[in-house]
Amino acid sequence: MSDSREPDAQPPYSTRKISVQCEINGRAMTLEAYPMARLLDVLRELPGLTGTKEGCGEGECGACAIELDGALVNSCLVPALQADGGKIRTIEGVAGSDLLQNDAVRLHAVQQAFLTHGGAQCGICTPGMILAAVNLLERNPQPSDAQIREGLAGNLCRCTGYTKIFESVVAALRASATPTPHAEPRR
Ligand code: FES
Ligand code: FES
Same domain? For 88 and 113 the reply is: no
pLDDT band, residue 15 (cuts 50/70/90): confident
pLDDT of 84? 98
Distance between CA atoms of 37 and 78, rounded to whole angstroms? 8
- Could you tell me the sign of the dihedral formed by the alpha carbons of 138, 140, 145, 149, in that order? negative
pLDDT at 103 over 70: no
What is the pLDDT averaged over residues 79-85? 98
- Closest ligand (CA of 160): 2
Contacts of 136 (CB under 8 A, 6+ apart): 143, 147, 148, 151, 152, 169
Q: Which residue has the higher pLDDT, 128 or 97?
A: 128
- The parent domain of residue 126 ranges over 109-176
The string of pLDDT tens digits covering residues 108-118 is 999 999 999 99
pLDDT of 2? 42
Tell which atom from ligand 2 comes closest to the C-alpha of 159.
2
Tell which atom from ligand 2 comes closest to the C-alpha of 158.
3
What is the pLDDT averaged over residues 37-48? 97
Same domain? For 19 and 86 the reply is: yes
CATH classification of the domain holding 121: 1.10.150.120
Same domain? For 64 and 119 the reply is: no
- Could you tell me the sign of the dihedral formed by the alpha carbons of 137, 74, 25, 20, in that order? negative
Same domain? For 87 and 129 the reply is: no
Distance between CA atoms of 133 and 29, rounded to whole angstroms? 26
pLDDT of 4? 45
Q: Give this prediction's pTM.
A: 0.85
Residue 100 lies in a domain: no
- Closest ligand (CA of 124): 2
